[in-house]
Amino acid sequence: MRIKDVAKILAEKRIGLVVIVDKAQPDVVIGVVSERDIVRAVANNVDLNQPVKEIMTSPVITVEGEEPIWNVAKIMREHNIRHVVVTNKGRLYGVISIRDMVAEESVLKSLVEYGTPEEHRPSAD
């Protein structure tokens, strides 16, 4: 798939990330392409007819589906990313975005309650 084809998908679907999978095994993630990647490619005069593999991020930062939401937020913050690929036993399961997290009141409550790891909390004294 070409870079411009992925850009078109992002625009048409109004999404911020496309997961690139292995053709032979569509539940195996090989990379991701974000809006940021497309903007960076345009800014660097990359030929948008090139294969998407030229700009995709790989390896991909993933979390298992059972991961606590506060840890997903921590991973996003640590890596300065807005999307995390979710796997189930290493296989593609979905994507969680910062928008997904903000849209869910229960997620926000969980982040407030559990979002600050113990080592970063102020001491009791």
In tens, the pLDDT along 21-51 reads 999 999 999 999 999 999 999 999 999 999 9
Structural domain boundaries of the chain? Answer: 3-114
- CB distance 72 to 63 below 8 Å: yes
DSSP label of 111:
H
What lies within 8 Å, CB to CB, of 65 at 6+ separation is 86, 87, 88, 93, 94
For 9, the enclosing helix (H) or strand (E) is helix 3-13
Is 3-114 CATH 3.40.1180.10? no
Longest dimension (CA), the chain: 60
pTM summary value:
0.77
